[in-house]
Amino acid sequence: MHTNAFDRISRRGLLQGSAALAGAVGLGVASASHAGAEVPGGSPGFAHGVASGDPLPDAVIIWTRITPTAEATPGSGVGPAVTLNWQVATDEGFASIVASGSVAASADSDHTAKVDVTGLDPSTTYWYRFVAGSAVSPVGRTRTAPSNSADLDRLRFGVVSCSNWEAGYFGAYRHLAFREDLDAIIHLGDYIYEYGQGEYGARNGSVRLHEPAHEIISLADYRIRHAQYKTDPDLAALHLKLPFITTWDDHESADNAYRDGAENHTPGIEGDWADRKANSAKAYFEWMPVRPSGSGSSVQLYRRFRFGNLAEISMLDLRTYRDEQPTMKQVDDPSRTITGRAQMDWLTSGIVTSPTQWKIVGNPVMITPCVFPPLEPATTAALTELVGVPQAGVPYNTDQWDGYTADRTRLFDAITSNGVDNTVFITGDIHTSWACDLPTNAANYPGGPTVGAEFVVPSVTSPNIDDMLKVPPRTVTVAAEEAFKAVNRHVRYVELDSHGFGVFEIAREGTQMDWYYVDDLTNPQSNAHYAVSYRLPAGAGSRVSPTSAALDQASYRPGVDQ
């Protein structure tokens, strides 16, 4: 008989553990002047700006929020219903309006309004606005996806995750808004954070304070928090310029959420989890430019986007259907799931039957095997059974796919058995940067097969290792990074200190992620700098490798139908 010394760890616990481990062991982007406190181009009635999202070849979601009276603040539940007129045009001056209509905004939807504008042309830039009486919203710009038959050479996306208001200013959004080479923004989760004031800030405390002051639980709470984030000028500017494709992770509801609860939820004190989850989901769907399917308790966020014959993007929901984060004994349990059966079937069938060259997965938590040490299950089964650890080794973080190895095996087996190549996972959550091959057996890497690659972007602001250690970046963590790569050889790049964003290109000859890091989260006008690039060439058996060439902004033009 033996005892197991391992148990579940929270996101902050994981990062604190990494910080303890680390403690033991330049190309500039010009900064523009920072926008003021008001939404750029906004009017008093539209204090939360406009946004667009979920582009299809013939449709896109447009969104806004109207404040009809001074009392009708977000979460208040009061205020008259308002009819908003909306317009979509092919020119910024609205001389050529191609679609228009009206939509109601009432207290039932927190005075948010969302329109699925259909009948549009593929690969086309549009401008849109909302009007209520004399109040006119900011003018937003958006773009439809190419037609399914379009023969594209390349696509390019900004990729972000983990934007914590109290941990700093959203400079990553501002620098992405500077660019003219992006087709859309992919946000991989933790768009908002649920904590109360002072509970989860930067290394030296909170840079700015959350509203409401307490941890958010009620529907009104979640509405107020979403509204606060929408007033950030950098986020508003990015929404104004590009469509978003988003999914949620845990902090849109509560830390380390799963199907029946969350680590950051106490049922006896904070009420029933199902009620809190429903509150968070209702506010999310009100405040975000997303197109979920279904309704009520069966509403579904995971969905897929087609970009010609070049790429298909499957956006996952890895919180709604997952089992509770496992103990170490439960990691290999085949009955436990991170996706749920229906989503796994949808994901595997989509990847296997996709007609596009590239299969991209928008993945809220890391799928790369990260274990100490990587073990060969066929030869170490007796040992792992004896000491009570998972077959492949002790996972770095059981909140990731490493805690649900049966689901990962199902997915990887589907990819390999069907001879699928050109699969890339783009991921957030862990507040750090990674470029990894995805081996079917980490212990046999690089000799064994791989199923694709994973590129992980850092947090926009949420704390990482140097923040927790309160040490200068790129000091004590460098040795830890090298040690980690030495053990997990399929991890080609890991950087534990910096915050920022990724720029991800999908092209015929390969995919590439460029990492950019913001210099100072406490400075609303901070510069950002280019850091590094990694590529996955097209073709079976390709491996991730570094490249010295950042993606060229000057020559890029969004794909158009041929």
> What domains appear along the chain, each with residue ranges and CATH number?
41-145 (2.60.40.380), 146-547 (3.60.21.70)
Tell me the C-alpha distance between 466 and 460, whole Å.
15
Tell me the C-alpha distance between 403 and 330, whole Å.
8
How does strand 423-427 pair with strand 450-456?
Answer: parallel
Tell me the C-alpha distance between 190 and 430, whole Å.
11
pLDDT of residue 308: 97
Cβ burial 306-322 (10 Å sphere, 16+ → b, else e):
bbbbbbbbbbbbbbbbb
Inter-residue contact 159 to 186 (CB < 8 Å): yes
Q: DSSP letter at 56?
A: -
Res. 13 pLDDT band, cuts 50 70 90? very low
Tokens of 7: 């148990």
Inter-residue contact 515 to 433 (CB < 8 Å): yes
Tell me the C-alpha distance between 139 and 118, whole Å.
19
pLDDT, one tens digit per residue, over 176-210 is 999 999 999 999 999 999 999 999 999 999 999 99
Q: Give the angle 555-174-423 at the CA atoms, nearest 5°.
A: 60
pLDDT of residue 561: 54
In the chain, % helix, strand, coil (3-state, to 5) comes to: 25, 25, 50
Residue type, 395: P
Return the closest-CA partner of residue 283 out of 230, 221, 232, 191.
Answer: 221
Handedness of CA 5, 6, 10, 12 (dihedral sign): positive
Q: Which residues pair with 272 in a beta bridge?
A: none
- What is the pTM assigned to this prediction? 0.91
pLDDT, one tens digit per residue, over 293-343 is 987 778 999 999 999 999 999 999 999 999 999 988 899 999 999 999 999
Tell me the C-alpha distance between 334 and 339, whole Å.
13
Residues 396-406: what's their mean pLDDT? 92
Question: Has residue 151 got a pLDDT over 90?
Answer: yes
Q: Which residues pair with 394 in a beta bridge?
A: 372
Tell me the C-alpha distance between 242 and 557, whole Å.
15
Q: Which residues pair with 135 in a beta bridge?
A: 132
Q: What is the mean pLDDT of the chain?
A: 89
Residues 50-74: what's their mean pLDDT? 97
